[in-house]
Amino acid sequence: MDINAMIEPILKFFSEGIGAVIASIAKAIYQALYPANAPAATTDLAANPPR
């Protein structure tokens, strides 16, 4: 099974026409929901040690 043969049509679809529009909308939604400058999730194990 050739992975390149399976991915090529998908990449072609999302690079032109309506597929490019769908991809740009999906990217905008993703960037709005998960901003790059969001603080990292952290835990303070020193203040709250596991029991």
Is 19 part of a structural domain of the chain? yes
Predicted local confidence at residue 26, as pLDDT: 93
**Can you give the pTM of this predicted structure?**
0.55
* Residue at token pair 């909308």: 25
Position 28 in a domain: yes
Q: Cα–Cα distance between 48 and 42 in angstroms, integer?
A: 12
Query: Does 41 fall in a domain?
Result: no
pLDDT digits (tens, 9 = 90+) for 1-51: 788 998 999 989 888 899 999 999 999 999 888 877 767 777 776 666 666
Domain count, the chain: 1
The boundaries of the domain holding residue 20 are 3-33
- Residue 49 placed within a domain: no
C-alpha pair distances (Å), 33 with each of 20, 25, 37, 41: 20, 12, 12, 15
